[in-house]
Every structure is written in C-alpha cells, then in structure tokens.
Structure 1
Amino acid sequence: MNRTRMILAMILTYVIFAMLLNSVGTLILMSQNALGASIEATSFLDGFKDLTIAVVAFVATSLLPRIGYRKSMMLGLTLVAAACVAMPLANAFWMVKIMLVAVGAGFALAKMSVYSTIGLLTEGNKAHASLMNFIEGCFMLGVLAWPWVLAAFVGQQDSSTDPIWLDVYWWLALACAVTIALLMFSHIDEGAAHTGAAQSFADLFRLLALPLVIVFLVSAFLYVLIEQGINTWLPTFNNKVLHLSTVTSVQLASLFAASTAIGRLGAGLVLRFLPWHWLLIICLLAMATLVLLVLPMAAQVQPPAQEGWWHAPAVAFIFPLLGLFMAPIYPAINSVVLSALPKARHAAMTGLIVVFSALGGTTGSFITGQVFARLGGQTAFYLSLIPMALLLIAVFLLKRQSTLHAASAPQAA
C-alpha cells in the first residue's frame, strides 16, 4: 500500500474540485460579461452541478465499493479533465452547463471515495479525524486560491468578451492528468470496502425513519441554501450593486472563503468550552444582525473613482464576514448526527448528507438568482433572513432530538 502517494493524490483531487465547485459564482459573472448570458439564465447554473451530485451520490452508494475507490476517483477526474479541455474550445454558455454537470458527477465520486479511503488508510478515531481535517483544510486552500487564479487570467483580457480567461481550464485539465497518473501508480487494499454495499444502500431509507435524521437533513438543507445563495452570488453583488470591476469583484469574493476557513478553525477551540447548540444560536443571531446592519450601506454606494481593493466601499469587506459566523454550523450539525449513529451507518448517512446538501445548494442559488434579477441584489440577500430564522428553529429541534436519541439508545441496544 502506497499510503503517502495515495494521500497526496487525494489532496490534489480535493484541491482541484474545491476550485471548480466554488467557481460557480465567478462563472455566473463571467457568463454574463463574457458570454452574454442573462442573470435569469445564470441562476440555474448551480443546479447543473448540485443536482448531478445528488443523483450520482444516491446511485453510487452501493456501486462505489464494487468499482473501487481509487478507480472512482480516476473516473471523476477523467470526466472533469475532458470538460476542462472542452471549455476553451467551445467558448460558449452551453459548455459551462456541461462542464458543471461533469464537475458534479466527478465530485460525488471523489468525495465519497476520499471519505471512504480515509477509513482504509487510518487506524483509530484520532488518526481518522487528523487526516480528515488535513484533507478538508487542503480543500479550503483550493477555495481560497480559485478567485486569485482566475483573476490573473481575467486581468490579461483586452475586453470583457476576450476568451483569455478560459485558458485557466487548460491548467486545470493538466492538474487532473497529473493526479490521475499519481492514482494509477498508487495501490491500496480495498478488500474491507466490498462488504455491506447492498446494506448501505438500504440503510439510506431506514435512516429516513429516524426523527433525528429528518431534523438534521432539514437543518443541512437550510444551511447550504443560505451559504450557496450568498457565496455563489457575491461576485455578481460586488459587480452589479457595489459597482466594482470584474477582477476586484472576483478577488473580494474570496474574503467569504477566508472568513469561513478562519471561522471553522476558531470554532474547533470554542466548542471545547461552549455547547454546540449555544454556539450555533449565537452564530445565527450574529448573521442576521450583520445582514440588517450592512446591507443598508450598499444602497448608498457610488462607483469608486479608481480600480482596486483600496477604493472599494466598506460593505465589500464587511459583508463577507458572514462566513465567520456561518462556518461552525455545518460541521457541528454533521458531527451531532454522525456521533449519534453507529459507525456502520456512517456510509449511508454520508450519502444522505451529500444528497440533501446538493439539493439545498441548488435551491439557494436559484432563488437568490431569480430574486436578484427581478428585485435586485440587496433584496436577494435580505431574503436570506427567512432561512436563517427557520434554521434557528431547526437547531432547537436538533438539540431536542439528539438528547432523546441518546436517552433511547441504551434501551434500543
């Protein structure tokens, strides 16, 4: 077993998908400015990615162990590499949709394979948690890197319709090819993964009968709806509402990812001293307060006299701080439901997490985009207060169900 080589391949896989998955916000802006697409048309883009993730994750729950995790990662990367090569060749909005379908299918295969492979490469809870956190940390590096990588190509354009920005996909295709080659020469014993595949698929439906799981899935759906709606449309908000240039809009949107990364690191320390549900309640109230305080500032913004960060309005720097307060919510609720279930049911639960997260993501992006087109960006972001309020209620219900589940576990055993 080539453990180090396999871990490196998983890290590269996650970084590639982090860049592509979190490129939808910039793709929406570039599709409008460079490919002539309307705001209404671009509001569907997240659906091409997220609905594909949901469908492939659901089907792959039982098929993945039979195909093999290493081969599944190679298959996902091959799909993405082909789509990346086609992007600059086609230079069309319809290709953006096809590329996102390929990214969705590839990510579903990659995420489930990476999560499962971590269990094969580690012994014990501490080693598992350590490797999981390290790989997820590398994912955030990819998220942070994407706006700057794309901005470097956008900055070389002579006009808004210049296709030079598409050259970034040649480099992503090359990264996919290198990672595939690394996986080809990596070997891992997957024997333990070939047992219980059918049971794992059937357990998806058994889990849906548990009140704890139902409340969790509603919570996860609402969270991703909020996050994706803001994250995806933040570059367009910067460009259309705050009157910033395309390059500056893309770069400043990276502050949301940076805030999220800092928030998750900080939450790991805070959760040692504060119960998870109190932290989430505080975060949700802080999010709502920030929206109510900051968005009115956007109404007063005038086009900056000069290009660049230093001439951007304060709201462009303050609003992405939402990521600080949003960051702890998703890992915390995932931890609550997974720690309440036996390890044998984690694979099926991960499948449900992927499916409902994808559905929440595409719903949030679509609703935000449609409202953005009809009522403006400020109204679109104000409406995030509704799912925030619903998620606050869901947190109380999740706390109650987790307590009841823990109390009934000994009797069930």
Structure 2
Amino acid sequence: MTSSPVVPTEMRVSYRLVSALTYAMFFMFAMTTDAVGEIIKIARVDMSLSNTKASAFHWATMIAIAASGIGLGFVADRFGRKRTIIGGLALYGLASALFMTGHAFQLYLSLLFVTGLAIGVFKTSALALVGDLANSTGNHTSRMNAVEGVFGVGAIVGPLLVVWLTGQGLSWTWLYLIAAGLCAGMILVTLLTDYPPMSGETETPASVGHTLSLLGNPHALGFSLAIALYVACEVAIFVWLPTFLEGFDGTELAMLFAAYAVMIFFVLRAVGRFLGAFVLRYIDWKPVMMVFTAIIFACFLTSALLGKTAAVFLLPLSGLFMSMIYPTLNSKGISCFPKSDHGAIAGLILFFTAVSAAFAPLMMAVVSDTFGQGDMRIGFLLATGFAGLLCLMGIVNWMANPAGSALAAADQSEYAKGTG
C-alpha cells in the first residue's frame, strides 16, 4: 500500500473542480455523439439521404476520433493537460456553433469530422488527467468507472433532447449550439482552475512515432484489442438491435422492451457504471471481468440461437454487465504506463475504440446481407463471436494476470506520487 503526499486544502478543492470538469466534458460529447441515431433518422428524411449516405453522420465522427487518437494523443503529454483540453474544447465549441450556419450535408459532414478531431484531443487529455488525479491503480479504475457513468448519462440525455427539440419545432442542430455553450463555460472555468502537475512530463519524447511504438508493448496491444472486442459488442446493440427486432410480436412486456430496447440498454449501462465504481473498491477486477464477459457472451449466444424472443430481453439487459468493462479495461491499460505516457496510450486505445465503433457495425451489415439476405440475426452471430473472444480474454486475464506486475510497479513508481 502506498501513501500519497499531503495536499493543501485549497489544492484539494481545485482538484475536485478539475474532476467535475472532466465529468462535464464526457457528458457533453456523449450528449452529441450518442444522439446520432435520432439525428440520422431526422436528417435522412429532411435531406433526402440514402441509408448509406446518412450513415456518414456516424462514420465521419468515428474516423476522425480514431485519427486524432493515434495522431494527436501525444499532445497532452507534450503540452500539458490544461492547455490541450482548452484547445480541444475551443475547436469542438467552434465547430458545434457552426452547425447553425447552414443546411447542407457537406457542411454537416465537415463539421462532424472536425468535432471528432476535437474529441480525440480533449478526451485523451481528460483520460490522462484521470491518472494525474488518482492515487493508485485501483483508484484510477474507480474514477474511470465514475467518469464513464457520467458519459452514460449524457448518452441518455442527448437522444431525449433531440426528440424534445423536434417536438418543439426546432432543428436538431440546436443540440450542437447547446454543446457550444457548454464548451464556452468549461473553457472559462478551466482557465481559472489549477490543474495537478504531470509527473515526468519532460522524460518522454512525446510524438506520433512514440505513440505508434507503444503498439509493440504487449499490455498496450492486449488491452486495446480487448477494448475493440468490447466496443464491437456494445455498438452492435445500439446500432443494429432495433433492426434485429423489426417485426417482433410478443407479450405486452416483451413489446415494451422491444419499443425501448436501446434506451433500456443505455440506462442499465449508465447505472451499472456507477455501481461498478463502488463494487470495484471491494472486489478484485479480474474475477468481476471474467464473470461479466461470460454473462455477456451467454446473452449474445442465447439471442443468436433463439432469435428475437430471447434478444428482446437479454441484449438490453446485457448493458448492466457491459457497464464496467470499458472503463476498467481503459483504466488498467493506461495505468500500466508512466503518467508521462498517459496521453499517448489513451490516444492509442481511443484509436482502437473508434475503429471498432466504425467498422464492426459495417461487418455485421455485410455478413447479414451476404449470408442472410438482410436478416440481422446473422449479423448478431458475428457479434456473438466478438463476445466469445472477449470472454476468452477475460478467462485468460483471470488465470494468468498478465498485467499484474506492471500494475503493481505503477502503484510503487507512479501513484506514490499521486495527488491523494
């Protein structure tokens, strides 16, 4: 057990404010990115777009986040968390405000790409900042679950806000103007707030080359691949579950679940992440990960084999067990490295996250069209394969504990310098 240095009261207050700002950033960009389904539904009709063309509203952001994560993740290590967060929020806020200046597909596509680049900048900085605030690898994981819990709340609020705006006769682009206002407020508070110091910020040659070199590290590659598999399972539900359940007929309760399947999934995912932050304080993460990935695999396998009757309940409910997996894998993957590399490794993991989010749904669509004449049950067989591989990695992680020595070393060498 390491002991952290005593931090003056005024600095503790400042660090709490920094934590609140981190939560606010995750809420804000979740509010916009996870509202894409509702936005596509509206824009597709208003702008007479094909499904393929409308899907670019999702692709543009994800590809830009991936490019930014791998190409710009290091800037948080080179220029510091505070300046990088301000720059990323400023770019995101400006691009969001410009949504109100026109009504052209090309304009929206360009702005979505810019917002994706901005997300990659301030999200990697915020993820690195979580490490600066933590006083142990366990505390890092707990904080990450809480942050992702707030992200889950934003993912619920965003779609609801789009529905409310359209119900009031307003354009969905007002969602982005609201986000721009939130960015302005967060930038102002950030300018007036003291951030925790970075440890070893001059020790690492922060660059794109250094970020790419981390791919040779087994911890970086292992956690990144596990996260990619998890994201493929998660995205399968909120992108394709409504299509899978089309034409479903069942009991009154089953029909209710079918109508609100994705919303139920998001709510359970958000609740589960706050619960995960609490549970992981008392139970080791490895057996929890193994059990939860096994339950997720069982939900997908049963749904793929039995069809809509099982899927209508099991796939939304899987959100409760998915909840702690992404933030925990993210946290452990980042914690394996020195704090001076946290921006770079966060960017690398974000790259795998965004690439999986962009291409896994496409792969499901291709296999369903090729082998099932459009039946998305075939696509969910592929997603079941992703879930099975994730479960296998959970079992190996529990049995072999491949990251154990790196995390123990980080507790001694990095988090002993923590803020407390």
The structure 1 residue matched to 2:96, chosen from 84, 87, 91, is 84
Q: What residue number does 1:279 align with?
A: 291
Q: What residue number does 1:144 align with?
A: 156
- 1:375 counterpart SS class: coil
Q: Distance in 2 between matches of 1:179 and 1:404?
A: 35
User: How many residue pairs were aligned?
Assistant: 384
The structure 2 residue matched to 1:180, chosen from 168, 172, 187, is 187
2:75–2:206 contact (8 Å) kept in structure 1: no
Aligned pairs for 1:11-410 within 5 A:
11-121=23-133, 123=135, 128=140, 131-157=143-169, 164-188=171-195, 190=197, 192=199, 194-198=201-205, 204-234=211-241, 253-267=262-276, 269=279, 272=283, 275-276=287-288, 278-292=290-304, 295-297=307-309, 319-334=315-330, 337-338=333-334, 346-368=342-364, 375-399=374-398, 402-403=401-402, 406=405
Per-residue deviation, 1:294: 6.7
Q: Deviations over 1:188-243 (max 9, x none)?
A: 364646323416766544543344543333222222122123223456667x6569
Q: Deviations over 1:299-335 (max 9, x none)?
A: xxxxxxxxxxxxxxxx766642231233343344445
- 1:194 counterpart SS class: coil
Per-residue deviation, 1:46: 3.0
Instruction: State the TM-score, normalized to the length of structure 2.
Output: 0.76
Per-residue deviation, 1:19: 0.8
Aligned pair in 2 of structure 1 residues 116, 296: CA closer, same or farther (>3 Å)?
A: closer
Structure 1 unaligned blocks of 5 or more: 158-162, 299-314
Aligned pair in 2 of structure 1 residues 405, 65: CA closer, same or farther (>3 Å)?
A: closer
Aligned pair in 2 of structure 1 residues 139, 328: CA closer, same or farther (>3 Å)?
A: closer
1:226–1:387 contact (8 Å) kept in structure 2: yes
Name the aligned partner's letter for residue 155 of structure 2. V
Instruction: State the TM-score, normalized to the length of structure 1.
Output: 0.77
Aligned pair in 2 of structure 1 residues 371, 5: CA closer, same or farther (>3 Å)?
A: same
Q: Distance in 1 between matches of 2:181 and 2:270?
A: 27
Aligned pair in 2 of structure 1 residues 148, 122: CA closer, same or farther (>3 Å)?
A: same
- 2:168 counterpart SS class: coil
Name the aligned partner's letter for residue 401 of structure 2. S
Q: Distance in 1 between matches of 2:404 and 2:283?
A: 22
Q: What residue number does 1:304 align with?
A: none
2:272–2:323 contact (8 Å) kept in structure 1: yes
Aligned pair in 2 of structure 1 residues 342, 88: CA closer, same or farther (>3 Å)?
A: closer
Structure 2 unaligned blocks of 5 or more: 1-10, 250-256, 410-420
Name the aligned partner's letter for residue 228 of structure 1. V
Per-residue deviation, 1:90: 2.1
2:77–2:343 contact (8 Å) kept in structure 1: no
2:36–2:58 contact (8 Å) kept in structure 1: yes
Per-residue deviation, 1:128: 4.9
Name the aligned partner's letter for residue 283 of structure 1. I
Q: Distance in 1 between matches of 2:294 and 2:74?
A: 39
Name the aligned partner's letter for residue 145 of structure 1. V
Q: Distance in 2 between matches of 1:191 and 1:275?
A: 32
Per-residue deviation, 1:54: 2.0
- 2:216 counterpart SS class: coil
Q: Deviations over 1:26-46 (max 9, x none)?
A: 233223233222222233443
Aligned pair in 2 of structure 1 residues 71, 242: CA closer, same or farther (>3 Å)?
A: farther
Aligned pair in 2 of structure 1 residues 216, 119: CA closer, same or farther (>3 Å)?
A: closer
Q: Distance in 2 between matches of 1:297 and 1:172?
A: 39
- 2:150 counterpart SS class: helix
Per-residue deviation, 1:265: 4.2
Q: Distance in 2 between matches of 1:21 and 1:404?
A: 32
Aligned pair in 2 of structure 1 residues 338, 89: CA closer, same or farther (>3 Å)?
A: closer
Aligned pair in 2 of structure 1 residues 324, 143: CA closer, same or farther (>3 Å)?
A: same
Name the aligned partner's letter for residue 224 of structure 1. V
Q: Distance in 2 between matches of 1:6 and 1:38?
A: 43
Q: What residue number does 1:306 align with?
A: none
